[in-house]
Each structure stands twice: as structure tokens, then as C-alpha cells.
Amino acid sequence: MPFPLAQVANPQGENLRNTIDALARTPLSEILILVTVCTVLRLALAGPLKNTPVHLRSGFYPVLKFLNEAMDAIVYAAVFVFMIIRPFALQTFLIPSGSMVSTLLVNDMIVANKWVYRTSDPKPGDIVVFRPPAWGVYPEQLGADGVPKVDFIKRCIGGPGDLVEIRKGELFRNGQKVAEPYVKYTSTMDQIRFTELPPERRDQIAQDDFKLVEQDGEVIPVHSFGPYTNSRDLVVSKYVVDPIDGETLRAKPAVKIPEGYYLMMGDNRNTSSDGRYWGLVPRESIVGKSEAIWFPFSRWQVTR
């Protein structure tokens, strides 16, 4: 059955979502400036407020006292949220694309647990937030320093030592077929609204083969359409090869995911730019694990 288009479009609260997302991504340098300014102003007000006689504490005194206490609260909140909670524990993220439909919809806001991967490693099936490779993003997603300024969210399909293959659209891990009830195949009108393809149409396109092979000492992705990027031009076409080289690569045996790397794919399998195109994610690029959708409130649920 098609997904309800209004549900997937999810337009309510757009301004609130954008504001929260902008706040969540505020650079630490800006937070430090805010904390410094508030601290200086508090110190400047502290003396006059303390030395004002009781009988003169009227007029502007209550206003200045309120501002002093407000800045005190801002400093403590900024330090607690942006220097403790955000780096080490939790952070909210806005879902910008339909690559995880229907698990995550466009404009959902999720809470990512950053602490969990400080004490453990990602497991197959986890929904993971990570920093993508530079060759896996579009030009507008690159910062001036050449580093991606976006985070991706996909499902972990395999970790170090796993032999992962897709055969005719079916996932195999270490030789065992893996059930993927979360996988969808969709069509989209405008990158916001999605409809699930009928079974006959899905059967036509869900025939992709995929594996990882070794080439010149590097483990690279290869699938039945050749080791290249998707239809939109990415920043660097790292795995684009000519047809002859593609046939040579497809003839190579599948290899395991090397130590320190993970394979990520989107649940919306035919519309996701993921590890099948731009390869593996190093452990140090992993940010956290999606725990729940918290906004819009009608979509609140634990993510699995």
C-alpha cells in the first residue's frame, strides 16, 4: 500500500524544527563567545547590585537584577547543554531526506545517543548518525575547508569482519540470509512525498547485486550496475570506472569489512545514496545511535 503522502510530507512545525536544528548545530566557538559576553556583563553588574543600599533597590534595580540572573542561567545552561550533553551524551538531528522512509520521514527530529558508542561499537541493525566521506556528499554540503558540513543517518548493515553481499535484492551477512522488514522501495514526486511501489514494480528494480571487493589495497563497493555514484553528481566520483574495469571488479570475490570500518545503507533502498555507492564509514566518523523520534509529537516512537 502507498504511504500516506500527507504523513510523509510532515509539514507541521517547520519553523520550530528549523530553529531547533539551527540551535543544535550552533558552533562551539559561538557558544564560547556567548558565555564570555554573559560572564563579563554579570561581573560588571555584580558589584553595583551588591553595593546598592536596600532602600535604593527600586527603579532599574529589579531589571538589572533580573538580567544578571538571566545571564547566570544562560551561562550554566550553555555550558551544561553544549559542552557536556551535546558532545558526550545526546543531540537532536533533523531528517532532511527520504533515504530512511518509512522508518524515518522527512522532517522528523530524532534524538541520537552519543554515549553508547563511547562504551560499545555499532551493531548490524543500529540506526546510526555519522559524518559522511567528502566524496559521498553534494557540493553544497561541503564546507569551505572541504569537510562535509552535514551528518548522515543510515542503518548499519555490517561491521568489522562481516562478509556482506546483496544477491538479487536479498541481503546476506556471513553467508546467511538476513530478514529486512524495514526495507522499502518507493517512488517520489519531490523528495518529500513518497509512495511505496507495488510488488510487481518492486520486483523489477529490487534485483541489485552488491559486494565489497579489494582493489589496489582498498576495499571498495561494487554492485550490478557498476561501482559508480548515483544519478546526481557527487563531489568526487571516487568509484566511477569504465565498463571494462567494472566487469573486472564484479568478477572479483567478495571480501570482509576491514577492521575499523562499517557499512551503512538506507531503508528506502532504491532512493538512498549510501555505502553501496561511496563505500565504508570509518569508526571515528560515527557520531551516535538514533534512539527515538521526538518531533512532531504525533510521530513519537523508539527507532528500530
3-class SS at 119? helix
Nearest C-alpha neighbor of 304 from the set 107, 159, 104, 99: 104
> What does the DSSP 8-state code read for residue 97?
S
pLDDT in tens, 138-191: 888 888 888 888 999 999 999 999 999 999 889 999 999 999 999 999 988 777
| CA atoms of 69 and 64, how far apart (whole Å) | 9
∠90-71-111 over CA atoms, to 5°? 15
Catalytic residues: 99, 154
Please check whether residue 122 is in contact with residue 156, taking contact to mean a CB–CB distance below 8 angstroms.
Answer: yes
pLDDT tens-digit readout, 77-110 = 999 999 899 989 999 999 989 999 999 999 999 9
Q: How far apart are CA 222 and CA 200, in angstroms?
A: 26
The pLDDT score that the predictor gives to residue 35 is 95
- State mean pLDDT over 287-298: 95
Percent of the chain with pLDDT over 70: 88
pLDDT for 293: 97
pLDDT at 231: 40
Contact present, 286 and 122 (Cβ < 8 Å): yes
Alpha carbon separation from 41 to 31, 79, 199 (Å, rounded): 15, 17, 65
pTM of this prediction?
0.84
How many other β-carbons are positioned within 10 Å of the β-carbon of residue 15?
A: 7
Res 161: pLDDT = 98
